[in-house]
Amino acid sequence: MHELSIAQSLLDIIIQEVNKNSISKVTWVKLRVGKFTSIEPSCLSFCFELLSKDTPAEGAHLRIESVSIRGKCRNCQEVFEPNDFLFVCPTCSGQDIEIINGRELYIQEIEGD
């Protein structure tokens, strides 16, 4: 249930941006969430709905874009999507893999009036 903490951080950032940009009502917020985070999107949306009551973000829809995991082999530079989180290069069987996608957890865009 750490989604509650994450929803609170998300709301704090939205309120800061809303104040900076003189927005009175947020309609949607676009997020990028990697598949190698332990975030459950429906749980995040539920917590956000609870926390955003009586704020300019009340009723705002979270557009959560999921980002697949991609690893890059440090040996042969191959970029691939690992199966079942097993980070083994399909080309050279190397195991020194840099995670280049999948750990995203950020706000990309806010729309409001």
Partner 1 sequence: MKIPVVRNILEVNERIAAENRRIFSENKVLVLNLISSPGAGKTSLLEHTIDALHKEIRIGVIEGDIQSNIDAKRISKKGIPTVQINTDGACHLDGNMIRETLNSLNLESLDLLIIENVGNLVCPAEFDTGENHKIMLLSIPEGDDKPVKYPLIFRQSSVLLINKIDLLPYVDCDINKIKKLSYRINPNLTIFEVSCKTQEGLSQWYRWVKKKVNALARKKSQR
- Note the residues at the interface with partner 1 (CB under 8 A): 1-2, 4-6, 9-10, 12-13, 17, 21, 23, 31, 36-39, 84-88, 95-96, 99, 105-113
State the minimum distance, in angstroms, from the CB of residue 89 to partner 1: 11
Query: Is the Cβ of residue 79 or residue 105 nearer to partner 1 in the bound state?
Result: 105
End-to-end CA distance of the chain: 31
87 near 97, Cβ under 8 Å? yes
State the minimum distance, in angstroms, from the CB of residue 87 to partner 1: 6
Please list, in sequence order, all residues whose beta carbon lies within 8 angstroms of the beta carbon of residue 34, skipping any fewer than 6 positions away.
Answer: 66, 67, 69, 101, 102, 103, 104, 105
State the minimum distance, in angstroms, from the CB of residue 1 to partner 1: 5
Query: Is the Cβ of residue 79 or residue 87 nearer to partner 1 in the bound state?
Result: 87
Could you give the CA distance from residue 75 to residue 14 in angstroms, rounded to a whole number?
41
